[in-house]
Amino acid sequence: MTHEFDVTKQVRLPAPPEDVWDAVATGPGIDSWFMGKHEVDAQARRVRFTMGEFTSEAEITTWEPPRRLAYRATPAPDGSFDAFEFLVEAAEGGTSVLRFIHHGFTAQDWGGEYHEGFSRGWDMYLHTLGQLLRHFPGRRARFVIASGPEPSASLDAWQKLVHALGLPDTPEAGRPVRFAVDGVGTVDGILDYTTPHYAGIRTPDALYRFHERSGLGMPIAIGHHLFAADADVDQESKAWQAWLERVLA
């Protein structure tokens, strides 16, 4: 049995519609603020999403640059699917207003927690989109993902992570952050996003994102966007994986 859901968000973004469109309607643009790898083919009206061994295909149903984009994934055998819509409007001072809609059906019977988790996740990702447009205009990022050990699926593990980042129990956005990761070096940046479920750190060459997922029965994860031209995704992934296993053991 599938369950219908809808998530709608509206955010002000620090860039004109053309720059927002580049970030939400091109593969490299999406990869610089959202998870996974995307390929957008406007001529074929197709969007392909890949993360690890998982791949999905979506049909572009609306393509009106730089104002409106909509696409819908091919339904899975159980009937579940995701559909996304981006509506971009120019605003004063060279900014834009983005209205975002995520609609679909899921086979997961997680009740309100499923919808709430999606909603919280999109708040974080759309904030990351704003950080991309404000602090990394014209730059592209490579996406790095790693997951903590199984015990980090407990809510208590989040405080371990917060302390490993050198933060107090209730950190406030805007404070400096500095910590070391073997194989990566010293991370020296600003806490640009903080909630009980997410932490975001911005440095001159990265947007680091940490995810608490105990409500979904899943371990803590990272999903980082690396803007350095020489970033080695495989090496970074292994280094962060080892760091998570060490600090969350």
**Res 217: pLDDT:** 87
**Res 112: pLDDT:** 57
- List domains and CATH numbers for the chain: 3-135 (3.30.530.20), 142-247 (3.30.530)
Classified as helix, coil or strand, 48 is strand
pLDDT in 10s for each residue of the chain, 249 residues: 567 888 999 999 999 999 999 999 999 999 999 999 999 999 999 999 999 889 999 999 999 999 999 999 998 888 888 999 999 999 999 999 999 999 988 776 655 555 677 789 999 999 999 999 999 999 999 999 999 999 999 989 999 999 999 999 999 999 999 999 999 999 999 999 999 999 999 999 999 999 999 988 899 999 999 999 999 999 999 999 999 999 998
Instruction: Give phi and psi for 15, each to the nearest 5.
Output: -165, 155
Please state whether the peptide bond connecting residue 171 to the residue before it is cis, i.e. omega within 30 degrees of 0: no
**Res 155: pLDDT:** 85
**Res 109: pLDDT:** 61
